[in-house]
Amino acid sequence: MFQSFRLCMAWLHTWFGLMLGFVLMVVFFFGALSVFDREIDRWALPESRFQPQPMPSFDRVLRPAFERMQPSKDDIALLDGRVHGPLPERFDTVRHWGAYTTHRDPVVAVFAGYEVPKAKDPEETVWASHALDPRDGRVLPEGRLRISSQFFYPLHYSLTLNWKDLGTWIVGFSALMMLAALVSGVVMHRKIFREFFTFRRDKSVQRSALDLHNLTGVVALPFHFFFAFTGLVIFAGLYFPVAHTQLRSLHELSEKIEARETGLPHERAGVAAPLASVDAMVAEAQRRWAARGMAGEVGYLGVQHVGDANAYVSVYRAGTDRVALTGEGIHFKASTGELLREDPPRTAVDSVNEFLTGLHLQHFRHWLLRWLYVLGGLLGCVCIATGFIFFVEKRKQQHAKVGSPGSRVVDALAVATVTGMLIATTAMLVANRLLSEALPDKGDWEKTVFWSAWALALLHAFARNGAVALGRRSPAWREQCLLAAAGAVAAVVANAVTTGDHLGRTLADGYWPVAGVDLSLLAMAAIALLAARRLGRVGQRTAARGTPAAIAGASNG
């Protein structure tokens, strides 16, 4: 295509990097926040600010909650077009009950999948999910958004665009482009070893931006590569649903064989049966793990074919001490508590897969590694942001001369994606504190604030960057840095005022979830203020150079 492989990789890196960089910025930033999603949830939901709890008793706490559960109207709405006739209102045949918790969860996530009467696809399942207080089984009220795990996290992998999984597809393509950008970046970067530690701050903005772009890209190259790759592996079944389409019969054959081999029935028997004590089964599972030298907490509890003679209970160990998620599953016959199967040690392929997914989804207990992950995510953001800045700096003089709007457009989009995103995030946290706790659908209001703040930031960016069309820097960068800093401080103050859990108290009590979020917000504000100051100073120098007196002085001297 081009004269050389290097040049065509450079083209690929520049243009696909630019186009998908906007998406990747969102993915990296909200991915970094999602490392501490449970902690941010505690900040946003003050009534959940208690210590993490182990999996509660199934018989006393979980079972009554499960039996009361039904899908919400939002859950049922997903069935639109997938049933014959009107949407059913009640769902009585339960395929699956599941309860999930980690060492960081005060609340336990419970969900239930129901058969759908009159569905077009006989395998169709409707899901209901709740968060429970494990101490008393109380369900957290609907409409209260767990801001990080129910918004920032889905934003990270699907842009919350759920129509036909479109958002997940876009993120997936961006991840593939991330991999391509890393490969092409390495090919392009002729001095990758020589310039490994190079960051020249005293040169032009273009040179400094490129140095920082290369630095943040290369030092965390394994991180960037593995996160994009493992993200794609996690969703591979969605992007390539081979087993549910072309090879569906093969899949069904394998499930029948597996059911025979494992003794875990694939279908319901159609005969009702009671549920024995699940707590006794859990105790037995924990005894067996300890006997194998792998004592541990319960990470996942599942009941399949609920209420049927073929029902079985699965108990999985929480993978807190290793990278793989959960494992060492032990399965019991639900009606009697008799042991059906102890999962054998993993195959090589399964171990690799669990390692890769566990690496990305992080349910392990390791605070240093978590913070290093946040660092990696933020380095990715800096890499993308400096990429935008380099792109604009390289072209804006030229564009100014020929009157092309290209640099201006990219610059405005970059401002909106980098600083605008921070403004939207802090605005949402402020709204979370200021809106009344009693407000129904409070979560929807918070989301509206988020999207509106971002839209306003975008408008501001376009309105203020006329300077770029003249080959100068847009003041929007500095202004939005100041706004983001203000938002972050406002959020910390709002938390202190509305909940009384100000830093003095949370640090003294050692309640790190809330203290950590407050401290991070303050750190963000400090960095944004520093950036605003530097941008202001550079702006003054450039302006001074441009005044008539200075030009006269320069032409005389």
Partner 1 sequence: MAEPLLLLGAAAIAALAGLAWLALAMEVHWAQVHGLRARATPARLRTAGAAALALSFALCLGADHVSMAVLVWLMLLAGSALAIAMMLSTRPQWLRWLWLAR
Partner 2 sequence: MNATPHSLRPLSLLSRIAAAVLGGYAFCWGFIALGLAGFYAAGMPFHDAEHLSGMLGVLLFLVAFCWVFATQRVGRAWAVLLGGAALMAGGATLVQRAMV
| Binding site residues, partner 2, CB under 8 A | 1-2, 5, 8-9, 11-12, 173, 176, 179-180, 183-184, 229, 232-233, 236-237, 240, 242-243, 246-247, 249-251, 253-255, 258, 347, 349-350, 352-353, 356
Strands (E), 137-252: 138-139
Kindly tell me which residue out of 215, 282, 424, 524 binds partner 1, with binding defined by CB under 8 A: 215
Instruction: Quote the least distance from Cβ 468 to partner 1, whole Å.
Output: 27
| AA letter at 488 | A
Return the ∠ at Cα 160 (arms to 143 and 498), rounded to 5°. Answer: 40
Residue 201 is a binding residue for partner 1 (CB under 8 A) = yes
* Torsional class of 270: left (φ above 0), alpha (ψ -120 to 50), beta (otherwise): left
Give which of partner 1, partner 2, none residue 372 binds (C-beta under 5 to 8 Å, depending on kind): partner 1
| Residue 215 binding: pick among partner 1, partner 2, none (C-beta 5-8 Å cut-off by kind) | partner 1
Q: How far is the CB of 172 from partner 1 (least distance, A)?
A: 23
Considering CB distances under 5 to 8 angstroms, the limit depending on partner class, which of partner 1, partner 2, none binds residue 300?
none
Cα 208 from Cα 76, distance rounded (Å): 53
In the complex, the smallest distance separating the C-beta of residue 174 from partner 1, rounded to whole angstroms, is 22
Q: How far is the CB of 31 from partner 2 (least distance, A)?
A: 18
Give the residue, chosen from 216, 407, 474, 495, that forms a contact with partner 1 under the rule CB under 8 A: 216
Under the criterion CB under 8 A, does residue 233 sit at the interface with partner 1?
no
Spatial distance between the Cα atoms of 422 and 351, rounded to a whole number of angstroms: 38
Position of tokens 């006329």?
466
How many CB atoms lie under 10 A from the CB of residue 85? 7
Q: Which residues sit opposite 132 in a β-bridge?
A: 108, 139
Least spacing, CB of residue 359 vs partner 2, in Å: 13
Task: Choose the binding region for partner 1 from 149-157, 168-176, 228-236, 319-327 (rule: CB under 8 A).
Answer: 319-327
The answer to whether 196 contacts partner 1 (rule: CB under 8 A) is yes
Task: Answer with the entry of partner 1, partner 2, none that 451 interacts with (C-beta below 5 to 8 A by kind).
Answer: none
Site membership for partner 1, residue 355 (CB under 8 A): yes
Q: Which of these segments, 108-116, 180-188, 342-350, 374-382, binds partner 1 (CB under 8 A)?
A: 374-382
Is 385 a binding residue for partner 1 by CB under 8 A? The answer is: no
For position 391 contacting partner 1 by CB under 8 A, the verdict is no
Q: Please, what is the angle between helix 367-402 and helix 205-219, to 10°?
A: 150
Contact 271, 211 (CB under 8 A): no
Long-range Cβ contacts of 231-234 (<8 Å, 24+ apart):
231/157, 231/171, 231/172, 231/175, 231/360, 232/172, 232/175, 232/176, 232/179, 233/353, 233/356, 233/357, 234/357, 234/360, 234/361
If binding is defined by CB under 8 A, does position 197 make contact with partner 1? yes
Tell me the C-alpha distance between 522 and 486, whole Å.
10
- Residue 324 binds partner 1 (CB under 8 A): yes
Q: How far is the CB of 357 from partner 1 (least distance, A)?
A: 12
Residues 6+ apart with CB under 8 A from 305: 95, 265, 267, 268, 269, 311, 312, 334
Residue 344 makes contact with partner 1 by CB under 8 A: no
DSSP 52: -
Q: Which residue, chain included where needed, has tokens 């770029």?
A: 468
Q: By CB under 8 A, name the binding residues for partner 1.
A: 194, 196-201, 215-216, 219-220, 222-223, 321-324, 355, 359, 364, 366, 368-369, 372-373, 375-376, 379
